[in-house]
Chains A and B, each alone.
Chain A
């Protein structure tokens, strides 16, 4: 069964460094999403992406964040200058154009020290 994959599974970085989290959505999906979950808290929406542009973003998704679909398979989340409070699990999700059911990847645990 097709699934969303994410790399790396765990990333440790120092405060102020840039990180890129990578996702490979399900191949025929056209909508892509990033969410985050701080330990012990709710899953929070960050951004949605369709047709090579951001379709919606939350107030969390400030200028430090950016997303890109550099080729036909990858979808990336970049954090330019990480802060301690960026430590969280980051989930990528995707869905078909014709269905609203979102499929999530296993997540990348980001630890900022």
Chain B
């Protein structure tokens, strides 16, 4: 059964700092990996999706990398802003018979002004 772990559980940084969020998964047989942002009491906003054949994806100040063989992904946020404060979730989609999204528990990010 796929397990997704995110480290750290919480992170607090001063505005302007570059930061990295980590995601690891136990079963490397994935179809893709998706990073989401969740604001308190709200839904999930898709940030980036990386297919299993890709190594990275970029969108603005966000860069996500994927090392499928080692079961790891990172989300790099450049020049962090207070508006980036949220919980960041990663989710993997299996490639076998279980093609559902399996989520990590998230990293709660606080960017201090």
Binding site for B on A (CB under 8 A): 4, 33, 35, 41-45, 48, 56, 58, 91, 93, 99-107, 109
Contact = CB atoms under 8 A, between A and B. Distances in A.
A4 B44 CA distance: 11
Contacts of B93: 100
Contact of A45 (B31, B34, B41, B102): B102
Contact of A106 (B31, B43, B99, B106): B43
Contacts of A58: 100
B42 interface: yes
B100 A100 contact: no
B103 A43 contact: yes
Interface in B26-41: 31-32, 34, 36, 41
In order of increasing CB-CB distance, the 4 nearest A-B pairs are A45-B100, A104-B44, A106-B43, A43-B103
Most chain B beta-carbon contacts within 10 A, residue among A45, A58, A99 = A45
Nearest to A46: B100
Contact of B49 (A91, A101, A104, A107): A101
A42 B43 CA distance: 13
Contacts of A91: 43-44
B86 interface: no
A113 B105 CA distance: 26
Interface string B15-57: 0000000000000000110101000011111100101000000
B46 A104 contact: yes
A99 B46 CA distance: 13
A42 to B, nearest CB: 5
B46 A42 contact: no
B109 interface: no
20 contacts: A33-B101, A35-B101, A41-B105, A42-B103, A42-B104, A42-B106, A43-B44, A48-B100, A56-B99, A56-B100, A100-B32, A100-B34, A100-B49, A100-B51, A101-B34, A102-B46, A104-B36, A104-B43, A107-B43, A109-B41
B36 to A, nearest CB: 8
Nearest to B51: A100
A107 B43 CA distance: 6
